[in-house]
């Protein structure tokens, strides 16, 4: 069954890899990556992982200061909240 971001489930590896790349590059505001030949924004990526139930690697949980075993959904929500807090 194909992944549908609005329904959740297991996201494709390239989306999870892009999130890891974003974190590894110190969370730049202008982060973009290519999905096939389309240039995608950070907000698009966060939306795609918003309901992802896949468990993040322990190293990624540690970088985000989250409990080990946290899902990508929890990770992207923390990043989104952090980004929104920067504007207030």
**Residue 65 within any structural domain of the chain:** yes
**Residue 25 within any structural domain of the chain:** yes
Domain that holds residue 77: 13-83
Whole-prediction pTM: 0.89
**Residue 46 within any structural domain of the chain:** yes
In the predicted structure, residue 88 carries a pLDDT above the cut 70: no
DSSP 11-80: PPHHHHHHHHHHHHTT--TT-EEEETTEEEEHHHHHHHHTTB-PBPPHHHHHHTT--TT-BHHHHHHHHH
Q: Render pLDDT for 25-80 as a digit per residue (tens, 0 to 9).
A: 998 988 999 887 889 999 999 999 999 999 999 999 999 999 999 999 999 999 99
**Residue 24 within any structural domain of the chain:** yes
**Residue 78 within any structural domain of the chain:** yes
**Could you give the number of structural domains in the chain?**
1
**Residue 88 within any structural domain of the chain:** no
């Amino acid at each position: 069954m194909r992944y549908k971001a609005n329904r959740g489930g297991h996201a494709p590896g390239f989306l999870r890899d892009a999130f890891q790349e974003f974190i590894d590059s110190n969370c730049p505001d202008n982060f973009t990556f290519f999905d096939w030949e389309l240039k995608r924004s950070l907000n698009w990526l966060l939306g795609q992982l918003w309901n992802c139930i896949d468990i993040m690697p322990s190293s990624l949980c540690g970088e985000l200061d989250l409990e080990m075993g946290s899902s990508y959904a929890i990770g992207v929500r923390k990043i989104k909240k952090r980004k929104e807090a920067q504007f207030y």
